[in-house]
Amino acid sequence: MELNDKGLGRDQLAYGRVLAVITHTGLAALVILFGVYVLGLLDPHVAHHRLPDLWKLPAGQFLEATGIAPGWGWTALLHRADILTLVGIAALAFASVPCLAAIMPIYWRARRMSLFVICALEIGVIVLAASGLVTGGH
């Protein structure tokens, strides 16, 4: 694969462009949605005065005490300000998937099938892990 004058390949440039868009968008979402939370534009799921007592709990007890379902259960509460802030975090955590998808056509056209397959497998692993179908036994 050809490199540009800075020694970067098309795949690196494509991955970097997509990653830049996602990280900037995710950061903007974090700031805006946190502003919604702090300014009280939407009601939170957990009242502010309860937070100091809840923060010290293990995750399972925290979920039970707040009535949040484990896994993707938080998505049912997106109408609440404190839960809505998780959208930016989720976007940043999932950022590598669109980046990998963006470089797969480059590898396909260059007939670099091993890299194409690796990208596809990485996307599969990330999606499978996010689905909650596979757990670590905890």
Give the pLDDT confidence score for residue 27 in this predicted structure: 94
52 belongs to a structural domain: yes
Give the pLDDT confidence score for residue 103 in this predicted structure: 97
Q: Please state whether the predicted TM-score (pTM) of the whole model is above 0.85.
A: no
CA-nearest of 45, 27, 46, 37 to 85 is: 37
Residue 3 phi/psi, 5° resolution?
A: -110, 150
32 belongs to a structural domain: yes
87 belongs to a structural domain: yes
CA-nearest of 82, 83, 81 to 72 is: 83
What are the average pLDDT values for consecutive 10-residue runs of the chain, which has 138 residues?
71 95 94 94 94 93 93 92 92 94 96 97 94 71
138 belongs to a structural domain: no
136 belongs to a structural domain: no
Per the CB < 8 A criterion, the answer to whether 45 and 82 are in contact is yes
- Domain count within the chain: 1
Q: Which domain holds residue 123?
A: 10-131
| Angle of CA points 42, 63, 66, to nearest 5° | 45
